[in-house]
Amino acid sequence: MNKVFPLAVLAFAILAFATLMLVIFPAAQIRTVEPAEGLEPYTAVEERGRQQYVDLGCYYCHSQQPRSPEQAPDLQRGWGRPTTPADYVYDDPHVLGTMRTGPDLMNVGARMPSQGWHLTHLYQPRAIEESSIMPAYPFLFEVKQNPDEDDVVVPVPAEYAPADGAKVVARQSALDLTAYLLSLDRTYPAKDKELRDLGFDGGDAR
């Protein structure tokens, strides 16, 4: 019994130290990070699209964190410079991803700035890349014989187009998700001084 109290005090001290170093200090650092110059808050449409991205589990197969040359040849792949905390100020929750079954998407809006390309890719990835293993998301679209004037008609190759000559039209959820993907552009100069010193002042994401 004489050893219980000292052990309890020691355990509490270790827990308090770990909490301070692993939770409180990092949280304080994050709160002081300012957005990078050139980074804009998400619009309402982009926010809805970001939620679609989360709901569909896109982050299971795609990362949003280009890495340094010591870790991976992401710059040579055209995925952009290494990201810094300032690039994620408006991301809550973060969707950094843990796997790269598909390419990193942090700068996909710069690499692929076409709304039509993204809509076609979401409707049927094999229409863009024959060997793609990405799932199609036809429920984000509808098929109409006579699209309305304000409908966004998706360009679909003949082999994937409806057999009866109808048109594929994007639902609002597809437009929202596409708007979010187009907003992913971190090609502005890096805020982190260490990255700038290494020559990463933007990076070619195209």
Residue 126: CATH number of its domain: 1.10.760.10
> Which of 3-12, 69-78, 98-107, 118-127 has the highest average model confidence (pLDDT)?
118-127
Long-range CB contacts (< 8 A, 24+ apart) of 70-77?
Answer: 74/104, 75/203, 75/204, 77/103, 77/104
Domain span holding position 100: 44-183
30: tokens are 């994050």
Please check whether residue 143 lies inside any domain of the structure: yes
Is residue 37 within 8 Å of residue 165, measured between CB atoms?
Answer: no
Please check whether residue 23 lies inside any domain of the structure: no
- Which pLDDT value is given to residue 8? 81
Contacts of 167 (CB under 8 A, 6+ apart): 143, 144, 145, 147, 151, 153, 154
Q: Dihedral sign, CA of 172, 127, 58, 182?
A: negative
Average pLDDT, the chain: 90
- Which pLDDT value is given to residue 163? 86
Closest to 174 measured CA to CA, from 191, 146, 152: 152
Please check whether residue 88 lies inside any domain of the structure: yes
Please check whether residue 54 lies inside any domain of the structure: yes
- Which pLDDT value is given to residue 127? 97
pLDDT-based confidence at residue 192 (cuts at 50, 70, 90): confident
Considering its fold, how many domains does the chain have in total? 1
Is residue 43 within 8 Å of residue 175, measured between CB atoms?
Answer: no
Is residue 107 within 8 Å of residue 79, measured between CB atoms?
Answer: yes
Please check whether residue 172 lies inside any domain of the structure: yes
Specify the pTM.
0.82
- Which pLDDT value is given to residue 131? 95
Please check whether residue 38 lies inside any domain of the structure: no
Please check whether residue 206 lies inside any domain of the structure: no
Contacts of 166 (CB under 8 A, 6+ apart): 143, 144, 145
- Which pLDDT value is given to residue 205? 55
| Local structure of 152: helix, strand or coil | coil
Per residue in 59-106, pLDDT (tens digit) is 999 999 999 888 999 989 999 999 988 899 999 888 999 889 999 999
Please check whether residue 190 lies inside any domain of the structure: no
